[in-house]
């Protein structure tokens, strides 16, 4: 090795941190900048809103579906900002397109066309997001007018308000795609994560105020914190757990080359549905309760329909026994439903058969599909029980210990899962960067200067 090459390698090893990891630092800075833009947009109000009336509305509707959407929007809904719709229209459009791709042959064919089909499906998702955002913005504006929260009515309010809300959702969708491409982590998940974390200081202040007012006890808060840490550890353990199905590849011959048999495994996660079941169950269950709270009445002179809606709102309030039973049942249902959408044992079995792979002791094809379906059903049951416990435990603890803390199990699950995904992708970028540096050093050694 020549002195020139030795000096070059020494310079590579002695690079400053910000030079050595320039690409990763650039991605992290882009992520931080994008989230700051998101938080700034959450404070830009929609034109024509009466803020005092808006505050009264949210104070009177605590524990309804408004609180759930406000959490995912990072408080933007409570301030009625241009990002009040949040990223929920995009999530709904994505799930609708996934559902349609299982029943519409043309969409199912697009899924199998690789990158080109994926781009086409993404285009349909964006168009669906635009349509859903427009419908939800119209409904939101109509609701604001009916509640007397707007300073004007008619087109003078609808046009600027609907335009602002739709533009805010489409901007968040674009920002999420930019984070995925140029930052670290999944962009949509990071936006939801930032929205939830942004409400933590408010929840903490409410908890301390409840202790001062005697509504909560310090011991109850400490117990809740300890249990929360334990639940977070359990979430990390379950999310990393896998059922590894052994897979063998038969010996193959191509020309004069013989490829020996290989052994690998098919990793199946315990929780394949992620946080989607909890979000869907919360939205579906809070909707009738919110409707009863808005329209129902406890007045004896009110109609039977309005009094029935008021009773429904009371029995479906978070923490009530019927709410807990229905919430857990819906989570289990959506776990099975969504897992069936994202993982097809029949398709996996066909792919294994085409590639010359087989599960030891199981015949390729239909028997392999039944075997994988049997394993998947057992894993989904465990995952459904796990998500149900995580989502219901904070409500039970709040009822038992009287702790006023609004960060629910759904929020905790989202935060932990997103952080785990972020760390995994950051580790992948670090590994890739280290590999690139080693390749560069080998090339420099092989072709020394001077």
Higher pLDDT, 314 or 343: 343
**φ, ψ at 257 (rounded to 5°):** -90, 135
Say how far apart CA 59 and CA 69 lie, in whole Å: 15
The answer to whether 393 and 374 have CB atoms below 8 angstroms apart is no
Q: Write out pLDDT tens, residues 102-145.
A: 788 888 888 778 788 888 989 999 999 999 999 888 888 887 88
pLDDT at 25 over 80: yes
Give the mean pLDDT of 363-390.
Answer: 92
Domain residue spans of the chain = 9-199
CA distance 69 to 195: 10
CB distance 97 to 125 below 8 Å: yes
Angular region, 441: left φ>0, alpha ψ -120 to 50, beta rest = alpha
Of 403, 410, 381, give the one whose Cα is nearest residue 231.
410
Count of alpha carbons within 13 angstroms of residue 203, beta-carbon side: 18
Taking alpha carbons only, the member of 91, 62, 87, 57 closest to residue 72 is: 87
Burial code (b: 16+ CB inside 10 Å, e: under 16) for 279-294 equals: bbbbbebbeebbbbbb
Dihedral (C-alpha) 52, 58, 59, 64: value to the nearest 10 degrees?
Answer: 170
Rounded (10°) angle between helices 409-446 and 276-295? 150
The pLDDT of residue 175 is 94
Q: How far is it, in rounded angstroms, from Cα 111 to Cα 121?
A: 8
pLDDT at 379: 93
| Rounded Cα distance, 199 and 411, in Å | 11
Is the separation of the CB atoms in 176 and 38 below 8 Å? no
Predicted confidence (pLDDT) at residue 12 exceeds the cutoff of 50: no
Query: How far is Cα 372 from Cα 340, in angstroms, rounded to an integer?
Result: 12
pLDDT at 439: 59
Using alpha carbons, list the distances in angstroms from residue 24 to 36, 180, 261, 423: 18, 13, 39, 13
Query: Residue 172 is encoded by which pair of tokens?
Result: 């968040």
- The tokens of 340 are what? 């069936």
- pLDDT, residue 75, reads 76
pLDDT exceeding 70 applies to what percent of the chain?
76
Q: Give the distance, in angstroms, between the CA of residue 349 and the centroid of all CA atoms in the same chain.
A: 29
How far is 276 from 97, CA to CA, in rounded Å?
A: 15
Type and span of the H or E element at 199: none
Winning range, highest mean pLDDT, from 13-22, 386-395, 404-413, 428-437:
386-395
- Cβ neighbours of residue 383 closer than 8 Å, sequence gap 6 or more: 238, 269, 270, 271, 272, 273, 335, 339
Look at residue 227 in the predicted model and tell me its pLDDT: 80
C-alpha distances in Å from residue 348, one per residue of 354, 358, 365, 367 = 10, 11, 9, 12
pLDDT of 430 higher than 50: yes
Residue 411 near residue 282, CB atoms below 8 Å: no
Q: Which residues contact residue 19 at a Cβ distance below 8 angstroms, ignoring those fewer than 6 apart? A: none
What's the chain's average pLDDT? 80
Helix axes 321-342, 276-295, angle to 10 degrees: 140
Alpha helices (H) in 147-275, listed in sequence order:
155-182, 187-198, 200-212, 218-240
What b/e sequence results for 347-356 when a residue is b if at least 16 CB atoms lie within 10 Å of its CB, and e otherwise?
Answer: ebbbebbeee
Is the pLDDT assigned to residue 359 strictly greater than 50? yes
**Contact (Cβ atoms closer than 8 angstroms) between residue 88 and residue 82:** no
Calculate the CA 216 to chain-centre distance. Answer: 31
Cα 14 to Cα 6: distance, rounded to the nearest angstrom = 12
Measured distance CA(15)–CA(290) in Å, rounded: 59
Tokens representing 411? 């929020």
Report the CATH number of the 9-199 domain. Answer: 1.10.3370.10
């Amino acid at each position: 090795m020549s002195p020139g090459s030795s000096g070059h390698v020494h310079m590579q090893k002695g690079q400053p941190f910000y030079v050595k990891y320039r690409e990763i630092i650039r991605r992290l800075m882009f992520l931080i900048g994008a989230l700051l833009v998101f938080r700034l947009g959450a404070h830009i109000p929609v034109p024509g809103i009466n803020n005092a009336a808006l505050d009264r509305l949210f104070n009177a509707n605590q524990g309804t579906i408004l609180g759930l959407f406000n959490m995912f929007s990072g408080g933007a809904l409570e301030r009625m900002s241009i990002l009040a719709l949040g990223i929920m229209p995009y999530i709904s459009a994505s799930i609708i397109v996934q559902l349609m791709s299982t029943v519409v042959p043309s969409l199912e064919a697009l899924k199998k066309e690789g990158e080109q089909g994926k781009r086409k499906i993404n285009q349909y998702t964006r168009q669906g997001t635009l349509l859903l955002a427009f419908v939800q913005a119209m409904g939101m504006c109509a609701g604001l007018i009916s509640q007397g929260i707007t300073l004007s009515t008619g087109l003078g309010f609808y046009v600027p308000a609907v335009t602002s809300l739709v533009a805010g959702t489409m901007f968040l969708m674009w920002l999420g795609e930019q984070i995925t491409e140029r930052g670290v982590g999944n962009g949509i998940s990071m936006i939801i994560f930032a929205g939830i974390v942004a409400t933590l200081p408010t929840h903490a202040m409410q908890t301390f105020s409840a202790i001062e007012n005697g509504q909560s006890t310090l011991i109850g808060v400490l117990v809740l914190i300890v249990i929360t840490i334990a639940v977070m550890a359990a979430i990390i353990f379950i999310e990393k757990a896998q059922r590894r199905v052994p897979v063998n590849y038969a010996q193959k011959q191509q020309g004069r080359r013989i490829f020996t048999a290989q052994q690998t495994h098919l990793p199946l996660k315990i929780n394949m549905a992620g946080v989607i079941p909890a979000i869907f169950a919360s939205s579906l269950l809070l909707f009738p309760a919110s409707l009863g709270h808005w329209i129902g009445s406890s007045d004896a002179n009110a109609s039977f329909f309005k009094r029935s809606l008021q009773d429904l709102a009371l029995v479906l309030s978070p923490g009530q026994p019927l709410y807990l039973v229905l919430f857990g049942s819906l989570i289990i249902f959506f776990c099975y439903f969504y897992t069936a959408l994202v993982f097809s044992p029949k398709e996996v079995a066909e792919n294994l058969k085409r590639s010359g792979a087989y599960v030891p002791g199981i015949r390729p094809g239909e028997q392999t599909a039944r075997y994988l379906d049997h394993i998947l059903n057992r894993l989904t049951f465990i995952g459904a029980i796990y998500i149900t416990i995580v989502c219901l435990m904070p409500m039970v603890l709040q009822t038992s210990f009287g702790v006023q803390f609004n960060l629910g199990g759904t929020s905790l699950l989202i935060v932990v899962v997103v952080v785990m995904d972020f760390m995994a992708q950051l580790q992948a970028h670090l590994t890739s960067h280290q590999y690139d540096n080693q390749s560069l050093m080998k090339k420099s050694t092989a072709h020394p200067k001077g």
